[in-house]
Structure 1
């Protein structure tokens, strides 16, 4: 039997996948994970006491928007990587845009501030716990992402794991922003980004084991 005939016979009985099925599954997994992450944040830390006033400030929305937009871009990238032999394309470059924007804003604010304010801008009062809180809050999101991708057909397991972890970390950071009262752009650029990176690393390490599809 010729190779083309063999491939045709093997694929003849495969069920057709509805358009958008991968995106819906990823959205469901991340949606359920977001509910879990929100429950963890509320039970563990709770919203910041001045949340009603905070939502009226630009910095709150900068923190939340940076994390949420990054997470949504990575969710789109994860949907692509969850399909067999699909290249990520321009989404890789798009995913870098929020990081570049926040880094540029942080550098500008840092340069404009007096030297005596620099340490506080960089370290805030929660730098030692912020990244780890983001990772912990993002764990339910990571579980949802893993569930979603395992039901699809990724072929680049480590890359898919990296993006799943980054997506979970970014959306977890958006949830954490409701509890966090840091107000410095340099703090956001360093410690929120580090939390996302740690979650991405966790996903990459686990990807080859957890994302094998059946």
Structure 2
């Protein structure tokens, strides 16, 4: 058989693939993982008792806007890296925007607060456990994304694992905000970001083991 005939024969037996298959599978994986994370928060940590009131305030949506923005950029980068021809993590530069905006809000807080109030503003009441909880709660979402990637063909495995971990951490941090009463931008910028970073690091370390195809 001629090479051209073989190629045509193989190509003729390939089923059509939906152009949005990647996005759909990633969405399902994240959604299922987020439900598990939400159930874990509800059954172990509990929701903040003033949640209904807090949802009418600026600080609640400040935290949510920050973590959701990070999550959107990281998910977009992960979806891009799911393709074998991806050479770099597009969209990740967008992370600079929410980080910079929140840093400006945090700087404003410090400017308005006496120096002896800076440490409580930074540490809050839960700095010792916030980052760990965010990283731990990201696990179900990360597992959902790994499930989604079983049908994909990423080639930058460590980078893809890191962006998937980053996306999982950002989603987990958003849900963790339903429990966490901390209202300082400085607290969120430091400890939420650290938890998301730990999730990204974990993804970079263990992602290649599960993303290999």
TM tier, shorter chain? over 0.9
CA 1:44/1:107 → structure 2, altered by over 3 Å: closer, same or farther? Answer: same
CA 1:11/1:40 → structure 2, altered by over 3 Å: closer, same or farther? Answer: same
Are the aligned partners of 1:134 and 1:173 in contact in 2 as well (CA < 8 Å)? Answer: yes
Structure 1 residues 152-167: aligned runs within 5 Å? 152-167=152-167
SS in 1 for 2:197: helix
Q: Deviations over 1:64-116 (max 9, x none)?
A: 12112211221121111111112456512113221121122212222331101
TM-score (norm 1): 0.92
Please state how far the C-alpha of 1:4 moved relative to its aligned partner.
Answer: 7.6
Q: Deviations over 1:118-142 (max 9, x none)?
A: 0001111100100001011111101
RMSD between aligned residues: 2.0
Gaps of 5+ in 2: none
C-alpha distance in structure 1 between counterparts of 2:13 and 2:28, whole Å: 27
User: What corresponds to 2:45 in structure 1?
Assistant: 45
C-alpha distance in structure 1 between counterparts of 2:192 and 2:2, whole Å: 55
C-alpha distance in structure 2 between counterparts of 1:43 and 1:130, whole Å: 17
Shifted more, 172-181 versus 51-60: the winner is 51-60
Q: Deviations over 1:13-36 (max 9, x none)?
A: 333321111011100100111111
CA 1:7/1:201 → structure 2, altered by over 3 Å: closer, same or farther? Answer: farther
C-alpha distance in structure 2 between counterparts of 1:47 and 1:116, whole Å: 31
CA 1:10/1:122 → structure 2, altered by over 3 Å: closer, same or farther? Answer: same
Are the aligned partners of 1:80 and 1:87 in contact in 2 as well (CA < 8 Å)? Answer: no
User: What corresponds to 2:124 in structure 1?
Assistant: 124
Please state how far the C-alpha of 1:6 moved relative to its aligned partner.
Answer: 7.0
Shifted more, 4-13 versus 145-154: the winner is 4-13
Q: How many residues align?
A: 213
User: What corresponds to 2:195 in structure 1?
Assistant: 195
Does the alignment pair 1:55 with 2:55?
yes
Q: Deviations over 1:124-173 (max 9, x none)?
A: 11001000010111111011011111221111111110000000000000
TM-score (norm 2): 0.92
Gaps of 5+ in 1: none
